[in-house]
Amino acid sequence: MRKFGRAIPIVITAGVCDTLLILLAVSGVSVVVLNFVWMKTVLVVLGTLFLLYMGVMSWKAKPSASQNEGLAGAKVPQLVGYTMMISILNPHAILDTVGVIGTSSIQYEGGEKVVFTAACIMVSWIWFIFLAALGHFVGTKDPSGKLTGALNKVSALVMWAAAVYLVAALWS
């Protein structure tokens, strides 16, 4: 349970960052961003580069039985800072919230928009809690790190596929 407790500040940070992005998206930032083609292009290019980089980092990650390496040995403030960086500075996350949630929210008004926003925020928080629980579960069942290494490779492939999708969407 100690390792899962370490994930709580990360879950809270990711949840707060995502909540902020969702609130910005539904408050009209998406309308502004989507009106400027160059801004969307910049976000897509930066998002693609970010995903390619994170994919490489994920692919190269070497899980170890020793929890004193990499982020596993990091202090909570470092983990919170890293989480904020990959949450707020991630152009792909911005593009997702602005492009998907923001544009989807345009069809709602008043109370329906509040419910839509609350549902998006709730799903986001549930997702981060689920990821932390799944990470804890995998960590307890995989002391050798082999499964974690395989999951890192799958994660890298998903990030690279998302990068290809972003570029394809930009060209269409």
Domain ranges of the chain: 2-171
The predicted structure's pLDDT at residue 97 = 84
The predicted structure's pLDDT at residue 4 = 72
CB 148 within 8 A of CB 63: yes
pLDDT tens digits along 8-26: 999 999 999 999 999 999 9
Check the CA dihedral 167-84-99-31 and report its sign.
negative
The predicted structure's pLDDT at residue 68 = 40
Whole-number Å distance between alpha carbons of 97 and 23: 9
The predicted structure's pLDDT at residue 65 = 54
User: How does residue 93 score in pLDDT terms, banded at 50, 70 and 90?
Assistant: confident
Q: What is the residue-averaged pLDDT of the chain?
A: 84
Tokens 């004193």, residue located: 68
Q: Which of 12-16, 33-37, 51-55 has the weakest average pLDDT? A: 33-37
Q: From residue 132, how far is each of 27, 50, 59, 66, 169 by CA, in Å?
A: 29, 22, 20, 19, 31
What residues contact residue 51 under an 8 Å CB cut-off, 6+ apart?
92, 159, 160, 162, 163, 166
Tokens of 99: 């492009």
Residue type, 22: I
Q: From residue 17, how far is each of 27, 63, 81, 93, 97 by CA, in Å?
A: 15, 27, 11, 10, 11
Residue predicted with more confidence, 74 or 89? 89
pLDDT tens digits along 114-164: 999 999 999 999 999 999 998 888 888 888 888 888 988 998 999 899 889
Tell me what the mean pLDDT of segment 34-54 comes to: 82
Residue predicted with more confidence, 70 or 46? 46
Residue 28 C-beta-side C-alpha neighbours within 13 Å: 1
Helix axes 110-141, 146-171, angle to 10 degrees: 150
Whole-number Å distance between alpha carbons of 17 and 84: 7
Backbone angles phi, psi at 36, to 5 degrees: -110, 105
